[in-house]
Amino acid sequence: MMAVIKSIEELEKIREQARELINLRKDNENKTRIVVGMGTCGISAGAREVLTAILDEIKKRNLTNVIVTETGCIGMCRFEPLVDVIKPDQPKVTYVNVDPEKARQIVAKHVVNNQVIDEWVIPNI
């Protein structure tokens, strides 16, 4: 039996769902930014799986005040994957050697509950 393959028409349904959840506030200044290092070094160290975990956590928790962006190689390749969390009006916090499980906890503890996970942080960069 031929399975029904997903088609682009489904996006109409997604659009309806998304409209209910969307945060209409456009002011990015009040949003938390998560920055993942996506240079060659980051990607080969596992940045894609880290990013996937972060996106999944954002979806599961319906977080609408978070923006995920990327940066290239910043010369700290041996600490990759690197993840920055920048909360509004707070200094940037950089997590090093992140894996998907750590990434999920960073979202839960730091992004949602405002608790920096000190042991995974590199200070002053």
* Contact characters 17-46, other proteins, x per CB under 8 A: xxx-xx-------------x-xxx--xx--
Burial of 77 (0-12, 13-18, 19+ CB in 10 A): middle
Closest approach of other proteins to the CB of residue 110, in Å: 18
Residue 12 sits in the site that holds other proteins (CB under 8 A): yes
φ, ψ of residue 20 to 5 degrees: the values are -70, -30
* Rounded distance between C-alpha atoms, residue 83 and residue 94, angstroms: 6
Closest approach of other proteins to the CB of residue 104, in Å: 14
Q: Which is nearer to other proteins, 58 or 106 (CB)?
A: 58
Choose among 43, 23, 42, 28: nearest CA to 86: 28
Residue 51 sits in the site that holds other proteins (CB under 8 A): yes
And the tokens for 46? 């596992």
Task: Identify whether the C-beta of residue 108 lies closer than 8 Å to the C-beta of residue 119.
Answer: no
Residue 55 sits in the site that holds other proteins (CB under 8 A): yes
Q: Which is nearer to other proteins, 10 or 119 (CB)?
A: 10
Beta-bridge partner residues of 49: none
Footprint of other proteins on this chain (CB under 8 A)? 1-3, 5-6, 8, 10-12, 14-15, 17-19, 21-22, 36, 38-40, 43-44, 48-49, 51-52, 55-56, 58-59, 62, 68-70, 72-73
